[in-house]
Amino acid sequence: MQPVIELENLMVRLGGRTILDSLTASVKGRAIGLLGPNGSGKSTLINTLLGFYPPDGGTARIFGRDIRTDAKQIRSLIGYMPESDSFIAEMTGIRFVRYMAELSGLPSNEAMERAHEAFFYVGLGEQRYRKVGTYSLGMKQMAKLAQAIVHGPKLLFLDEPTNGLDPPARLRMLNLIREIRDTHGMHIILSSHLLRDVEECCEEVLILKGGRIADYCNLEEERKANRKFIEIETYNGNPGFSQAIEQLGCECAWLNNGRAKLVLPPTMEMREIYTAAAHHEVQIRKMNFRRDSLEDIFLRAMDGNLNGSVGDVPPQKAGAHGSL
Amino acid sequence: MAVYKRNYRPYDGAYTPLNTRFLVIPRFAWSTLFQSRALLSFYFATFFPMLVAAAFIYLVNSPSTQALISANAGTADGMGRSLQSPSWLVVDGFFFEKYLVVQAFFCFLLTAWVGPGLISVDFANDALPLFLSRPFTRANYLLGKFTVIAGLLSTITWVPAMLLFLMQSSMGGWTWLSKNYWIAGAIMLGSLLWIVVLTMLVLAVSAWVRWKIAATALMVVIFFVVPGFGEAFNEVLRTHWGKLLNLSYLISRIWNDLFRSPNVLKPGLPPRFTDVPVWSAWLVLAFVIMLSLWMLNKKLKAREVVR
């Protein structure tokens, strides 16, 4: 599978300060979250990939095209939804999106047709003849999304797409992002400081800290890995059940009131625990998978050693993970 | 199918050529501008001098006027004085220069009306990253905005002037054309120079001054207040170099030269009443264009770097 983005010792200096410091990574997922505290270089990375800032060292490739030499071809493949307000207030919504579509190279009639489609798609169909300047914040965010997808890009950069949205609008935005990811074949780079948004939409996360890569991991792999850890609460627990569990290869620590923490071997199926319980007439009243949340991953990355390069290391092992 | 029933789909159609994509900007800008009836009325009013000039050319070249001139030539009136056709009844470089002078004023008004909001509107809500994140360079953007003003100004300067020139050529015949063919070059060069100066200046002002009214006021200051300082400079230092601050004067000085007009200033006048050399006028206008380009280059960036 061709990498979506390849970073190769990418370095960017702005105003005499190093903002991105020798980033190396190969990103292949369909939806990648870009995480990091304020000032970590998330927006700078996006702006550099868009060609707004020239790299001071190294380079980056998007779908195999070099940002230094193929900027125009790259831009024809991407859609960009900026973080801040970005629109032409005096234009009606539909005209604004059509304008952007034509600037992306769509012929006039196609641009008009697709502007309408994009507006209905983001749920602003009935508001499309209002001036963008009169839109609410949520509507402006949706209009920004419409202009980013109107020309059918292959890669979508979303910079803090849920900024300032109320809970229902945020849910709508996240649903749209998931739908775009799943049904329209677009790759998505989602930059956000809201871990929940990234967790709900992305398969992989690239965590930046101080202009360097702190972690790059596949969330699904992380979740799978964490299924090995479970907590159970039993009724009628007896030593036979405990022995049976240990014979299955589990590491087991019994607590009070029939509660236990288990570390399962990699090949073990959950069904085997239920079978052992049934055999020893033990009721399992509660079973919790202790899943590692993105917050745990993020906090570990913030505490851990920086990892400037994650080159060809598999995503789930690329970061500076601590023990679980 | 009704548009609201259609769903979003990936685009797999053709794309417009990259090298003509900048024309999207003027197309959208003009369609917005001409929604204003006031601007439309003013725009049509700028063609009135052309109608007057066309009527004049027709009059000068009409058989009856020619017959009258021929009949009077060499004859004497009742007092024994020789009758000659009036000196203003000719179509020459001076005629076209005066036509352009009138149009130049309209150009300034149109530029001051349209230009200040041209780039500032994109800065007002930070829309520039949306332009520049597409296969659309800063040069494309600038060229597009330039075309908005330059296209409008062209339709009221060199286009009608060349039509008048063609009209005169067809009516005046080969004799007139062989003597005055250089006027076509002067019209083109003179008009384009004024168009470029005005357009670059107003774009630079629009990029730096985001409030449209303030940008318009700044244009007025540049063209009417700054020359006042130049005149004061001339008075105090008994020189004529203060005229270099007067862009309108500089363009008329160049046009004088291009259209081979007689110098109306008599020799022997104090320095402040004499013209500056033509080369200095060219130099200052070139400097204004370059300065505007530099200002635009500094400002037209998708992202500002805060130092």
**pLDDT tens across B190-203, in order?**
999 999 999 999 99
Taking the CB of residue B225, how many other CB atoms lie within 10 A of it? Answer: 12
Contact A107 B14 (CB under 8 A): yes
Burial A175-200 (b: 16+ CB within 10 A, else e): ebbeebbeebebbbbbbbbbbebbbb
- Judged against a pLDDT cut of 70, whether residue B92 lies above it is answered with yes
pLDDT for A324 beyond 70: no
At A245, the pLDDT band (50, 70, 90 cuts) reads confident
* A72 with B122: Cβ contact below 8 A: no
Q: In this structure, are residues A83 and A43 in contact, taking their beta carbons and an 8 Å threshold?
A: yes
In chain A, residues with a C-beta closer than 8 Å to the C-beta of B24 are 99, 102-103
Of A69-73, A208-212, B10-14, B288-292, where does the model show the most confidence?
B288-292
> In this predicted model, which residue has the larger pLDDT, A16 or B288?
B288
Nearest partner of A5 among A61, A53, A48, judged by Cα: A61
Question: What is the arithmetic mean of pLDDT over A306-323?
Answer: 41
Type of residue at A70: D
Closest by CA position to A211, among listed A5, A6, A11: A11
> Is pLDDT of B83 > 80?
no
A77: closest CA of chain B, how far (Å)? 9
Task: Measure the CA–CA gap between B167 and A181, rounded to whole angstroms.
Answer: 63
Query: Is B24's CB within 8 Å of A102's CB?
Result: yes
pLDDT of residue A39: 84
B119-156 per-position pLDDT tens digit: 999 988 889 999 999 999 999 999 999 999 999 999 99
Q: Between B11, B127, B136, which is nearest A114 by CB?
A: B11
In eight-state DSSP terms, residue A309 is B
Q: Bridge partners of B82?
A: B76
Q: What is the overall mean pLDDT for chain B?
A: 88
CB-CB neighbors (< 8 A) of B13 in chain A:
106-107, 110
- Report whether pLDDT(A315) > 80: no
Report CB contact under 8 Å: B9, A117: yes
- pLDDT interval class at A236 (50, 70, 90): confident
At B239, is the pLDDT very low, low, confident or very high (cuts 50, 70, 90)? confident
Residue B210 has pLDDT above 70, yes or no: yes
CB A189 within 8 A of CB A156: yes
Of residues B226 and A38, which shows the higher confidence score?
Answer: B226
How far apart, in whole angstroms, are the C-alpha atoms of residue A51 and residue A57? 14
Question: How many CB atoms neighbour CB A17 within 10 A?
Answer: 9
Instruction: Determine contact, residues B203/B296, Cβ cutoff 8 Å.
Output: yes
Within 10 Å of residue A167's Cβ, how many Cβ atoms?
A: 8
pLDDT band at A177 (very low <50, low <70, confident <90, very high): very high
Number of Cβ atoms within 10 Å of the Cβ of A83: 18
Residue B97 has pLDDT above 50, yes or no: yes
Q: What's the CA gap between B108 and B112, in Å, rounded?
A: 6
Residue B267 has pLDDT above 80, yes or no: no
**3-class SS shares of chain A: helix, strand, coil, % to 5:** 40, 25, 35
> Residues of B at the A interface (Cβ-Cβ below 8 Å)?
3-4, 6-16, 18, 21, 24, 28, 32, 121-122, 124-127, 129-137, 301-303, 305-307
Mean pLDDT check: name the lowest of A167-176, A225-234, B134-143, B234-243: A225-234
pLDDT score for B79: 55
- Give the Cα separation of B101 and B251 in Å (integer): 9
Within 10 angstroms of residue B77's Cβ, the number of other Cβ atoms is: 9
pLDDT, tens only, A260-307: 888 787 778 888 888 989 998 899 888 887 656 677 777 777 766 544
**pLDDT > 90 fraction of chain B, expressed in percent and rounded:** 66
What pTM was computed for the model? 0.82
Q: What is the C-alpha to C-alpha distance for residues A18 and A41, in angstroms, rounded to an integer?
A: 10
Q: Nearest-CA distance from A85 to chain B in Å? A: 6
Q: What is the pLDDT of residue A210?
A: 87
Q: What are phi and psi of B284, to 5 degrees?
A: -65, -40
Q: What's the pLDDT at A321? A: 31
Residue B236 Cα distances to A223, B230, B233, B244, angstroms: 83, 10, 5, 15
